[in-house]
Chains A and B, each alone.
Chain A
């Protein structure tokens, strides 16, 4: 009992302990904020990537595409664990605004069936004007009979000074020429010797805001069949670049992908020997994580680097706590002698200073967490204020496709940070505490008397 009572008294009476509390609080404060924002960004980014492609992708990197995709879609649709599938054409195109002198822009082109793609990738959620009626996504509101196209939001809209988009209440009538090099099944230019490129005119019907900066800044969406035509994937065998798949609720990602891979292997064997079966050789079955790993991996690496950097902050805290406790215990050696002369054991002395360290850790981590949560709760307000006053923004929204700074505290992360802070305090106090416990009362009291 004396351990708790004395540790509490030391905590209150020793001003130097407040420095240790402050060091822990500052460390926890910084870690809570950075980890919350970073974890939020990564989580958000992963979710956006997941939403963009669905659960699983059967795809080829080849611009030629792969054949028999309709047959495989039938196989997939008959499987109970698959909830929806969407064939996708992926290629590159040049777009130019008609009736202007603006230079052509190179873009990534995606051909999708809006309804099917919505079921797999929540396509309607990314739209603005046709969000409520995705089946008509490629019908411009101003003239539904025109061939419509959807632009990535950064291709379609400008941003204001605060990097927020200028939204038009209805889409302006804008015509684009979309040009694409059609390829044969062997990868040769389909129209070699003639006009080489396929060009079609499309009208701006909507924009898509996926939240993925690279996608929103470089992708246009066309109706599936038209994209297929532009890329020459309509003949001699119909081809697609990918089949995006959404699993039924409750299906685990790895298990679902494994099932699709097995189905694909069987399908490929069945098609072996057919005329365009060689196009199936470049096709892979991947989960959304693997398919988008080039985008996700750098972000995860960034998170790892930050975690490592904050581990160093943690080590610094351990060292500060060590120094503070070394000083406290040096000043308290007389007390240790007194306590031992009154019957305190070595374990009791360790317990006393360990409890003291726990108090420091608890108070520091609670203070740091509270301050961190308060800061996070107001982080967007503060950023707005900083922007209005000084034009300062933490993240350039043209690079980081985020609306608000993520500030949702993950209680799991919070618990880990607090436990780490408590552990850091115990580790920091361990050596001085063990030294204190080993002190011989006669030596202390004799020295004290000198």
Chain B
């Protein structure tokens, strides 16, 4: 935890991109804090910098200025190896377009983070337990009968549930979701939000990015991002 008791704390985050000759300032001093067990939704119009902020919070990107502290440790001070371990163990990502690996089955996609975190020997030793954990997640997500299917054989909702399973595989402290229902119809999207609500009720900290306020209302707290800043 940070000294203020927050799990995640971002302070003065700036980020800009260069598009040809133009510099686009996406984030202009974002301050944000998330407590453990919170379900936070970040809403904002398209291009407001929501995804960029989420990537920075999850260590996928680095801010031009500002700090992100996770459990009191500044991500900016992490080595490349520590950052990889952070993404593997502490954070789980759910993306709008699911981002599953086409070559792997549903089960393999789910236990991928566990495979990444283990050496060959470690994997051979823990293989059974890992597969059992992945199967358990499949049961929770209602996908057990899809274990051997490939992503292209699944519906959008099923794919997103697989992505949630993958994100939860290493029991991360923080779940980051980037427009998790953005590619789904309303009913399926609600199903995914139900999963998030259930996870949050069991103590999972979630930060979700969405442009849809109706969806954001399912979260415990809503933060609005506009013009690169948090709207108070």
Of the A-B pairs whose beta carbons lie under 8 Å apart in the complex, a sample of 26, sorted by A's number, is A1-B115, A1-B119, A2-B115, A4-B120, A6-B104, A9-B103, A9-B104, A13-B102, A13-B103, A340-B60, A340-B84, A341-B87, A342-B88, A343-B89, A343-B117, A346-B80, A346-B84, A441-B55, A442-B52, A442-B60, A442-B61, A445-B60, A445-B95, A446-B52, A449-B51, A449-B95
Instruction: Answer whether residue A344 sits at the interface, using C-beta atoms and an 8 A cutoff.
Output: yes
| Inter-subunit contact B88/A343 (CB<8 Å) | yes
> What 0/1 pattern do residues 406 to 450 of A give for CB contact below 8 A with B?
000000000000000000000000000000000011100110110
- From residue 218 to 248 of chain A, which have CB atoms closer than 8 A to chain B? none
Instruction: Answer whether residue A339 sits at the interface, using C-beta atoms and an 8 A cutoff.
Output: yes
Smallest CB–CB gap between B80 and chain A, Å? Answer: 6
A441-B60, A442-B60, A445-B95 given; A1·B87 CB < 8 A:
no
**Majority DSSP secondary structure for residues of B touching A:** helix
Instruction: Answer whether residue A345 sits at the interface, using C-beta atoms and an 8 A cutoff.
Output: yes
> What 0/1 pattern do residues 44 to 61 of B give for CB contact below 8 A with A?
000000011001001011
Give every chain B residue within 8 A of A340 (Cβ-Cβ): 60, 84, 87
| Inter-subunit contact B87/A343 (CB<8 Å) | yes
Instruction: Answer whether residue B97 sits at the interface, using C-beta atoms and an 8 A cutoff.
Output: yes
Residue of B nearest to A13 (CB): B103
Instruction: Answer whether residue A30 sits at the interface, using C-beta atoms and an 8 A cutoff.
Output: no
Instruction: Answer whether residue A211 sits at the interface, using C-beta atoms and an 8 A cutoff.
Output: no
How far is B109's CA from A9's CA once the two chains are assembled, in angstroms?
13
A-B contact count (CB 8 A): 88
How far is B169's CA from A342's CA once the two chains are assembled, in angstroms?
10
Kindly specify which of A122-130, A179-187, A330-338, A367-375 makes contact with the partner chain: A330-338
> What 0/1 pattern do residues 340 to 363 of A give for CB contact below 8 A with B?
111111101000000000000000
Give every chain A residue within 8 A of B170 (Cβ-Cβ): 343
How far is B80's CA from A337's CA once the two chains are assembled, in angstroms?
15
**Majority DSSP secondary structure for residues of A touching B:** helix
Smallest CB–CB gap between B51 and chain A, Å? Answer: 7
A341-B60, A342-B166, A445-B60 given; A334·B99 CB < 8 A:
yes
> What 0/1 pattern do residues 101 to 129 of B give for CB contact below 8 A with A?
11110001000110111111011100000
How far is B122's CA from A1's CA once the two chains are assembled, in angstroms?
9
Residue of A nearest to B58 (CB): A341
Instruction: Answer whether residue A68 sits at the interface, using C-beta atoms and an 8 A cutoff.
Output: no
Residue of B nearest to A338 (CB): B99
A1-B119, A342-B113 given; A10·B103 CB < 8 A:
yes
How far is B99's CA from A335's CA once the two chains are assembled, in angstroms?
8
Give every chain B residue within 8 A of A344 (Cβ-Cβ): 84, 88, 116
Smallest CB–CB gap between B48 and chain A, Å? Answer: 14
A340-B84, A342-B166 given; A2·B60 CB < 8 A:
no
How far is B120's CA from A4's CA once the two chains are assembled, in angstroms?
9
| Inter-subunit contact B123/A1 (CB<8 Å) | yes
Instruction: Answer whether residue B196 sits at the interface, using C-beta atoms and an 8 A cutoff.
Output: no
A342-B112, A342-B166, A343-B88 given; A442·B118 CB < 8 A:
no
| Inter-subunit contact B99/A341 (CB<8 Å) | yes
Q: Which 10 A-B pairs have the closest CB atoms?
A: A343-B88, A442-B61, A1-B123, A2-B115, A9-B103, A345-B84, A442-B55, A442-B60, A342-B113, A343-B87
A9-B103, A343-B84 given; A348·B95 CB < 8 A:
no
Smallest CB–CB gap between A3 and chain B, Å? Answer: 9
Give every chain A residue within 8 A of B120 (Cβ-Cβ): 1, 4
Residue of A nearest to B176 (CB): A341
> What 0/1 pattern do residues 75 to 95 of B give for CB contact below 8 A with A?
000001100111111000101
Smallest CB–CB gap between A2 and chain B, Å? Answer: 4
- From residue 175 to 213 of chain B, which have CB atoms closer than 8 A to chain A? none
How far is B58's CA from A440's CA once the two chains are assembled, in angstroms?
13
Residue B116 contacts which of A13, A334, A348 (CB distance < 8 angstroms)?
A348
Smallest CB–CB gap between A333 and chain B, Å? Answer: 12
**Extra contacts besides A10-B103, A340-B60 (13): CB < 8 Å:** A338-B101, A339-B101, A341-B87, A343-B86, A343-B89, A344-B84, A345-B84, A346-B80, A348-B116, A440-B60, A441-B60, A442-B55, A446-B52
Instruction: Answer whether residue A188 sits at the interface, using C-beta atoms and an 8 A cutoff.
Output: no
Instruction: Answer whether residue A5 sits at the interface, using C-beta atoms and an 8 A cutoff.
Output: yes
A2-B112, A6-B101, A13-B103 given; A341·B93 CB < 8 A:
yes
| Inter-subunit contact A445/B115 (CB<8 Å) | no
Give every chain A residue within 8 A of B93 (Cβ-Cβ): 341-342
How far is B55's CA from A232's CA once the two chains are assembled, in angstroms?
100
| Inter-subunit contact B116/A342 (CB<8 Å) | yes
Give every chain B residue within 8 A of A6 (Cβ-Cβ): 101, 103-104
Residue of A nearest to B122 (CB): A1
Instruction: Answer whether residue B2 sits at the interface, using C-beta atoms and an 8 A cutoff.
Output: no
Give every chain B residue within 8 A of A9 (Cβ-Cβ): 103-104
Give every chain A residue within 8 A of B97 (Cβ-Cβ): 448-449
Instruction: Answer whether residue B16 sits at the interface, using C-beta atoms and an 8 A cutoff.
Output: no
> What 0/1 pattern do residues 298 to 342 of A give for CB contact below 8 A with B?
000000000000000000000000000000000000110111111
Give every chain A residue within 8 A of B55 (Cβ-Cβ): 441-442, 445-446
Give every chain A residue within 8 A of B112 (Cβ-Cβ): 2, 339, 342
How far is B60's CA from A445's CA once the two chains are assembled, in angstroms?
10
Residue of B nearest to A341 (CB): B93
How far is B112's CA from A217's CA once the two chains are assembled, in angstroms?
72
How far is B104's CA from A9's CA once the two chains are assembled, in angstroms?
8
Smallest CB–CB gap between B85 and chain A, Å? Answer: 7
Residue of B nearest to A339 (CB): B116
Of the listed residues A13, A346, A441, the one surrounded by the most CB atoms of chain B closer than 10 A to its CB is A441
Smallest CB–CB gap between B13 and chain A, Å? Answer: 14
How far is B61's CA from A219's CA once the two chains are assembled, in angstroms?
82
Give every chain A residue within 8 A of B71 (Cβ-Cβ): none
Residue of B nearest to A442 (CB): B61
Instruction: Answer whether residue B96 sits at the interface, using C-beta atoms and an 8 A cutoff.
Output: yes
| Inter-subunit contact B113/A449 (CB<8 Å) | no
How far is B52's CA from A446's CA once the two chains are assembled, in angstroms?
9
Smallest CB–CB gap between A360 and chain B, Å? Answer: 16
How far is B89's CA from A440's CA once the two chains are assembled, in angstroms?
19
| Inter-subunit contact A345/B80 (CB<8 Å) | yes
